[in-house]
Amino acid sequence: MENINNKLGKEFNINLNIVENIIGMLDEGNTVPFIARYRKERTGGLDDQVLRKFYERLLYLRNLEERKEVVIKSIDEQGKLTDEIKGYILKCDTLTEVEDLYRPYKPKKRTRAIIAQEKGLKPLAEAILNGKITGGILEYAREFVNEEKDVKNEDEALKGSMDIISEIISDEADYRKWIRNFVNRHGFIVTKGESEENTPFEMYYDYKEDVSKIPPHRILAINRGENEKILSVKIQCDEEKIVGFLKEQCLKGNSVTDPYIENSIRDSLKRLIYPSIEREIRSELKDKGEVSAINIFKANLKSLLMQPPIKGKVVLGYDPGFRTGCKIALLDDTGKMLDLATIYPTAPANDIKGSIKKLKDLVYKYNVDVISLGNGTASRESEEVIVQLIKEVNEEKGKDLYYVIVSEAGASVYSASKLAAKEYPDIDVSLRGAISIGRRLQDPLSELVKIDPKYIGIGQYQHDVTPKKLDESLKGVVEDCVNNVGVDLNIATPSLLSYISGISASIAENIVKYREENGKFSSRKELLKVKRLGPKVFEQCAGFLRVMESNEPLDNTAVHPESYKAAKNLLKILELNLLELKKGGLKEVDEKLKNKNMRSLAEELEIGVLTLQDIINELKKPGRDPREKMPKPILKSGVIDMNQLKPGMILTGTVRNVSDFGAFVDIGVHQDGLVHISQMSDKFVKHPLDVVKVGDIVEVKILDVDEKRKRISLTMKK
C-alpha cells in the first residue's frame, strides 16, 4: 500500500521532504497564508492556492484511510475478514471503491434476500449460481419446501433463491465497477419537461446528452429544474450490453440453471444495481458541477477582492431608489463618513432640478472627485441625473468629476447586519447602503469582507452548491486575498482582521477593543499585550499587519519580525539607511546588489534565498499593494442607452462575472452583455477563465441586441 506522503508527492510533483514539511507545519497549526509567505524554503516556494489544494487532498486521503480501518474492523468483527479482502481494501484509491467492497458485509435492512436466507434457501441459491444442478430443478427445490419457514412449494423456494442470487450479483464489487464505468462512458442524461409553462428550463423539456460530456453548468441547471419539479431526469444506457457482461460472468453453460441465473441478473440490474449506480453517478455529476461552480466562484471572488482601490479621492456614494428616494453618503479619502443626504430625482417625486442642486452643493462643499453609483433599482434614471450634474459642474467650475457604476449586490444584506448596526448605530439602515457603495469603490477588499461572499453577485449556480463546501472554499479565498494585501493594524475593522492569519473573530474584537482603550498601536510588538494573543498567534499574524505609526520602519512592511535582524544586517552590508524606508523605499538596492551572489549573501545572513528575495522586494517598495497591478475601474462622464447600441459597434467594458459558458461584460448600459465562450478568441478556448477574469477591462464588439429580452451578444474576436 502506497502511503499518503508518497501519493501527495506524486500528485503534486514535489519531493518527499517538502511533503513532510508541509504536513508537519499544517499539523502544528500553521495557517496556509503564513506557510506560503514565510516558510518558502520549507515548501519549495509553493503558493497559497497549491497549498490549499494540498491540504484538501491531505484531508481526503486521511479520511479514506480512517474509513478503510473502520471497514476492515467491521468485517473482522463479523469473522469474515481474509488477507485477500483486507489487501483489496487497502489498495483502494477512492471512498467509492471501499464502499463497493464493503457492500456484501454492510449490515442491511431485512431485504428480500435476507428473508429468503432466513427461510434456509441460501444452499439452493448457491447450487443454482454454481451450476451444480443437473437433474430436474423442481425436484432439487422440493427439498427446501418447509411449511414452518413459510416456504409452501417449489416455486416459492426458487423465487426466494433467485432473490438471494440477485443480491449476490449486486454485491460483487468488480461487477459494479464495470457497470459504473460503462454507464459513465456510454450513458445519457435524459430530461423531460413536467410543466406546460414557459420557464428558464425550456431547453431541457426534451433533452439528451452524454454523461461523459455534459458540462458542469448544465448539470447544476438540470438539478435545479428537477428540484423545482419542472424536470424529470434519468440516466439511460444500453442495458442489454450490461446484461451481456453479467451473463458472461455468471452463466455456467448449464441449461438447467442458466435461465434462473439470467432472470436474477435482470432482476438484480433493474431493482438493485442500476438504481444504485444511477444515484452514484448523479451524485458524482453533482460533485463535478459543484467543484466547477466553486472554482469559478473562487476565481471571480479573488479578482473582485483584488480590484485596485481608488486612493486619495473624496467619494460620493449613491444608492439609487424610487419611492423612498436616492440615498447619498459623502466619504473622505480615507473612507470616513462626512455627510448623509436623501434626494428624490426619480418617480414619484421626479424632483430632478432640486436633486441636482443638492448634489452640486455637496460636491462643492466636500470637493468630491468621483461618484460611486450602485447598479440596482433606479440606477438608469439616476445615471442620467449624474451625467447632467457632471455637465453643470464642469461648466460652472471647470472641475473634472466622474462616476463609476459599482455592483451593489449584498449592500442591503450588509445594511441590515449586526456588523453594520455596530459600525453605524445611529444611522438609518437605508443610508448604510450608500456608505457601503462608496467604500466599495475606495477599497473593495476592506468593504466586501463584511459581506458573506454568496451575496456579492458573482459566480454560477452558487445557490445550488452545498453551503458548507462553498463557505469553506470562499473563506480560503478571502483569507489569501486579505493576507496577500496586508492590513493597517490601526484602522482595520474586526471583520477584516478576522481574516488575517491566526486571528480568530474573538481576537479581532480584542484587538479593536485594545485600540479603543489604549489608542493606536505604536508597534507590532504591542500586539502581545492584546488579550488571548499569545506568541503562536503573533507568529502567524504579525507579518500581515502594518503599523505606519511605528518607530520601527520594518513594522510597515511585509518583512516578518523573525527576519528583522537579517534585514538590518543586509542593510549594513549594502551600506543603506533603514530610516530611508519611510520615504517610500530604497531605490538603490538593485544597484548595491549587482555584484553580490544571492546564495552566499543568504548564507551570511543565515536565511534562505527565497526569504532574502522577499526582504529585498520589501526594502525596494515597502508595503506595496499587489492590487496596483490590476486594471483600474473605468471612470465615466457620459451615458449610453441600450437603444443606441448597434451591431458592429466597438466598446470598452468591464468583466463583471465569468461562468463556464462565457463572460458577462458591463458596457455601461445597465444590462451586461454576454461574450459566449465561442466568441472569446480566434483560438480554441477551453474555459473562459483562461482568457478573462472579473475586473478585466476588455474591448468588445456588438453582435446582436435584443431589447425585448434585454440580451446583448458580444464578441472579443478580432
Place 640 in a pLDDT band, splitting at 50, 70 and 90: low
Average pLDDT of the chain? 93
By the 8 A CB rule, do 463 and 497 touch?
no
Would you place residue 639 in the very low, low, confident or very high pLDDT band (cuts 50, 70, 90)?
Answer: low
Per-residue model confidence (pLDDT) at position 641 = 75
Distance CA 342, CA 151 (A): 84
Return the residue matching grid coordinates 419537461.
193
Helices (H) and strands (E) in the chain, counts: 30, 15
Percentage of residues in the chain having pLDDT higher than 90:
78
Which pLDDT value is given to residue 334? 86
Query: What number of residues does the chain have?
Result: 718
Closest by CA position to 33, among listed 11, 15, 55: 55
Cell numbers at residue 38, please?
Answer: 514565510
pLDDT at 87 over 70: yes
Residue 573 is predicted with a pLDDT of 94
What pLDDT does residue 537 have? 98
Domains, the chain, with CATH or none: 4-105 (1.10.10.650), 315-442 (3.30.420.140), 494-628 (1.10.150.310), 642-715 (2.40.50.140)
Percentage of the chain modeled with pLDDT above 70: 99
Nearest Cα to Cα of residue 459 among 596, 273, 308, 293: 293
Query: Which run of H or E residues covers position 640?
Result: none
Buried/exposed 153-164: b ≥16 CB within 10 Å, e otherwise: ebebbbbbbbbb
Q: In a 10 Å sphere around its CB, with 0-12 CB exposed, 13-18 middle and 19+ buried, how is residue 338 labelled? A: middle
pLDDT confidence tier of residue 236, bands split at 50, 70 and 90: very high
pTM listed for this prediction: 0.85
* Cα distance between residue 74 and residue 76, in whole Å: 5
**Residue 633 pLDDT greater than 90, yes or no:** no
Q: Which residue type is seen at 385?
A: V
Q: What are phi and psi of 664, to 5 degrees?
A: -100, 125
DSSP assignment of 297-328 equals: HHHHHHHHHTSPP-TT--EEEEE--STT-EEE
Residue 575 has pLDDT above 80, yes or no: yes
- Is pLDDT of 175 > 80? yes
Please check the confidence at residue 498 and state whether its pLDDT lies above 80: yes
Q: How many CB atoms lie within 10 A of CB 676?
A: 16
- Contacts of residue 537, defined as CB under 8 A and 6 or more positions apart, other chains included, come to 502, 503, 507
Q: What pLDDT, on a 0 to 100 scale, did the predictor assign at position 711?
A: 92
Q: How many alpha carbons lie under 13 Å from residue 208 in its C-beta half-sphere?
A: 5
Question: Average pLDDT for residues 520-527, to the nearest whole number?
Answer: 97
Helix (H, G, I), strand (E, B) or coil at 428: coil
- Above 80 in pLDDT, residue 384? yes
Backbone angles phi, psi at 712, to 5 degrees: -125, 120
The tens digit of pLDDT for each residue in 396-409 reads 988 889 999 888 88
Q: In this predicted structure, which of 9-23, 275-289, 500-514, 657-671 has the lowest mean pLDDT?
A: 657-671
Backbone angles phi, psi at 370, to 5 degrees: -150, 145
581 or 317, higher pLDDT: 317
What pLDDT is stored for residue 625 in this prediction?
A: 80
Cis peptide before 348 (omega within 30 of 0): yes
What integer pLDDT is reported at residue 410 of this predicted model?
Answer: 86
Q: What does the pLDDT average to over 698-702?
A: 94
pLDDT attached to residue 565: 97
Whether 462 shows a pLDDT value over 80: the answer reads: no
Residue pair 119/149 in contact (Cβ under 8 Å)? The answer is yes
